[in-house]
Every structure is written in C-alpha cells, then in structure tokens.
Amino acid sequence: MKLAESMSRLGTETAFEVLVKARALEAKGRSIIHLEIGEPDFDTPRHIVEAAKEALDQGWTHYGPAQGLPELREVIARDVSESRHIQVGPEHVCVVPGGKPIMFYSMLALLDPGDEVIYPNPGFPIYESMIRFTGATPVPMPLEEDRGFTFDLNLFRDRLNSKTRMVVLNSPQNPTGGVIPCEEMADIANLLRQRDVMVLADEIYSRIYYGDKPPVSITAFPGMLEKTIILDGFSKTYAMTGWRLGYGVMPASLAALVSKLMVNSNSCTASFTQRAGIAAITGPQDGVTAMVEEFRRRRDAICKGLNEVPGFRCRVPGGAFYAMPNVTGTGMDSKELADFLLYEAGVSCLDGGCFGQYGKGFIRFSYANSMANLMEAVERIKKVSPRWTSRS
C-alpha cells in the first residue's frame, strides 16, 4: 500500500500510548496511579445528562446544520461575548465534535506549504502535528519555567517575519498550567495587530484558573477579534470529554469555510449532544465552580508534595489541571524517569518531551485524580527517589 506523503508528517498524542503501557501493567496485576491523561475525573453534571436524554426522547437524532444548531450557536455567542468582553454573533460560531477539530480545520483552511506558524513548546502535540501535516513550517516558541511558562517577547518578535501566517496561543496552558498575564497578552497583540497573521487562541481551559481574575483572551484587545479563532468547548469545563462537543469563534467568512470542511468530513456534530450543550451553558454553573475548587486543593497538595521529592522543582500553575516539575535535579533524562516512575513506582505520568523539545527535563502530572491517589503517587515517588539520589 502506498501511503500519501503527508501521512509521514502526521504526529500523535503520546498520552494515549502511555495509557496503553500502563493498562498492560494493570492487566498483569500491577497497581498503577493514572496521572497521564488530561481529562476531568468528575461526572458530567446531572442536568446536562438529563438534557441529552430528553433530546433523544424528543427525536434530536437526525442531521443538523453543518455549522451547528442555531440555538446553540446563539447561546455560545452570548456566553463568549460576555466572558471575553467582545461582541460576536452566531454567524461567528462553528460547533464541531470537540475542541480539537478547530485546530484541524482552521489549519487546513489557512495554511499552505512554506507558511510559518509560531506555537508554544512545550505545547499540545497536535499543533505541531497539524502544522507539519499542512506542509507549513512549525516555529517553536520556548516556554520558560522562570517566567511562569510564558514566553520571552523579544524571542517572539525575532520569530515573526513575512512568512508567519499563524500564531498559536494557549492560556491556561497544557502541559505547564501557565497563564499568559494581561500585560503580556497586550504586548503580543501590539506585535500582531498590523500583521497579516491569524491567531489560534486555544482557550479550552478558560474556566479552569486559580487567580482572582479569568485569563484574558487576546480577542479583548483592539483589532484582534478579526484576526483570531477562539477554540473552546465542553470537554474540560463540563467534564464532557467523551461527548465530543466543542466550537470555534472566528470571522464569519472563515466560519463559512470551516463549515464547508465539516460538510466534507463530519456533516454535523451530533444533534442531541448539542441540545445538552445548551443546557450546559444556560444551566447552573455550580458544578464547574466546585470542580475548579477541588482542582485548586489538589494543585496545592501535589505541588507541595512534588517539591519535597529530591531533584524535583515544581512551580505552582495558574490554570488547567497539570503540574510540570523540572526534574533535571534527579540527574535522569525525563523520558527515562517517566518510564522508571511507571515501572518502578506504578505512577503513570508523561515525559515533558512528549510536548516538544523544550519540554525535555520536565514531567507532566495531571491532577485530575482523587486527592488520596495523588498523595499515594507522591509517596510512591518519594520511596523510589533514593534510586536517583544514589546515582548523582
């Protein structure tokens, strides 16, 4: 079978591979604590599940418009306008199966071979995979631990040139939990305003933050709304990863093209899940508040625990549900260490290198697991730590 050349450029998400390794160990009777996968360990709030059931009973089981149900797009437009302090309408919204397709479709719609895309590194692996798949050139923007995992604006300025077609921003960020502060976002907007570039603003963790104020969206700065695709969805905020429901907010002309890509691929997003999406946004938000409060408790506890591990140094992240300690002090390569923790301590976590070259030397722990399991994981790691302290 001769494969398309473009397939050789398609990457993947290593988290799923690590999960397979961890499950294989479990099948042999090993006890494994899963801190590798990035999904809330909470149930989808009851009223959302009920809305989906009701929608099925009412016959929301047919094709719908490719761009998404107008009533859901209306609700999303209102919600996004309020939360980002912008003005958008349903014509700007594309509902798709999860947040990820917005990366896929917007890059397919906007990138040509030879274009450059600046993206965060370490970062969600699908950015680089999709940039390469389109034939464009990925230009990594190193995130710096001592800046709270944001980037150096001078380096960013240096990377901008006439070939730059797209800039990917992700705040709060996966894998570091970093949040881009308002002043820095203003500076980024100032650098991009006059340029012919589009921003892919991945705001999938926009509701999961621990500061006093919500993370700022680049769309809130003058002239940026017209240049931005907001990626958001229901997976993280409402613990709905398996429902596959997300959306993009973008200029109406681009929304029409993304809808065309939907027509050519999915036809539409499942109708009854979209009805549940309306219930999610318009219904009570106390489930989200409670989840974020619980994540905060866990964040504080796991960061404290990880900082007690010899050779680990863990910054306290401002958002999402990941802790990303620097593990260079162990003297071990981070990939080797992640494997060691899986096989020797029964703690499944991800080598920072899975998120790009600048993630090497770090390990990502997802704290979407119970407090008891997190504390047990820290204890297990401490217990095996003499194995690396004795080597250094």
Name the one residue in this structure whose structure tokens are 């709270």.
Answer: 148
Tell the smallest beta-carbon distance from residue 233 to ligand PLP (Å).
4
Tell the smallest beta-carbon distance from residue 388 to ligand PLP (Å).
29
Q: In the window 156-175, what residues touch ligand PLP (CB under 6 A)?
A: 170, 174
Buried b (16+ CB within 10 A) or exposed e, 273-288: bbbbbbbbbebeeebb
Nearer to ligand PLP, 119 or 156 (CB): 119
Q: In the window 80-99, what residues touch ligand PLP (CB under 6 A)?
A: 98-99
Q: Does 366 bind ligand PLP (CB under 6 A)?
A: no
**Total chain residues near ligand PLP (CB under 6 A):** 13
Tell the smallest beta-carbon distance from residue 27 to ligand PLP (Å).
25
Nearer to ligand PLP, 108 or 375 (CB): 108
Q: Which of 105, 119, 124, 355 binds ligand PLP (CB under 6 A)?
A: 124
Q: In the window 138-157, what residues touch ligand PLP (CB under 6 A)?
A: none
Tell the smallest beta-carbon distance from residue 97 to ligand PLP (Å).
8
Q: Which of 84, 100, 165, 315 binds ligand PLP (CB under 6 A)?
A: 100
Strand partners, 363: 351
Q: Residue 372: exposed, middle, or buried by beta-carbon count in 10 A (0-12, 13-18, 19+)?
A: exposed
What is the token pair recorded at 6? 């473009």
Residue nearest to ligand PLP (CB): 98
Exposure on the CB side of residue 65, measured as CA atoms within 13 A: 16
Nearer to ligand PLP, 188 or 231 (CB): 231
Q: What is the three-class DSSP state of 138?
A: strand
Tell the smallest beta-carbon distance from residue 170 to ligand PLP (Å).
5
Nearer to ligand PLP, 127 or 340 (CB): 127
Cβ atoms 129, 12 nearer than 8 A: yes
Sheet of 246-249, strand order = 93-96, 246-249, 228-233, 198-202, 164-170, 116-121, 137-142
Q: Which of 18, 93, 204, 208 binds ligand PLP (CB under 6 A)?
A: 204
Tell the smallest beta-carbon distance from residue 141 to ligand PLP (Å).
15
Q: In the window 280-319, what residues touch ligand PLP (CB under 6 A)?
A: none
Tell the smallest beta-carbon distance from residue 111 to ligand PLP (Å).
18
DSSP string, 68-135: --HHHHHHHHHHHHHHHT----GGGEEEESSSHHHHHHHHHHH--TT-EEEEEES--HHHHHHHHHHT
Can you tell me the distance from the alpha carbon of 320 to that of 388, in angstroms, rounded to the nearest whole number? Answer: 30
What is the token pair recorded at 284? 């009570």
Q: CA nearest 352: which of 339, 367, 336, 363? A: 363
Q: CA nearest 293: which of 13, 21, 11, 40? A: 40
SS3 annotation, 295-336: HHHHHHHHHHHHHCCCCCECCCCCECCEECCECHHHCCCHHH
Q: Which of 22, 38, 249, 327 binds ligand PLP (CB under 6 A)?
A: 38
Binding mask 220-249 for ligand PLP (x = CB under 6 A): -------------x-x-----x----x---
Nearer to ligand PLP, 204 or 341 (CB): 204
Site residues (CB under 6 A) for ligand PLP? 38, 98-100, 124, 170, 174, 202, 204, 233, 235, 241, 246
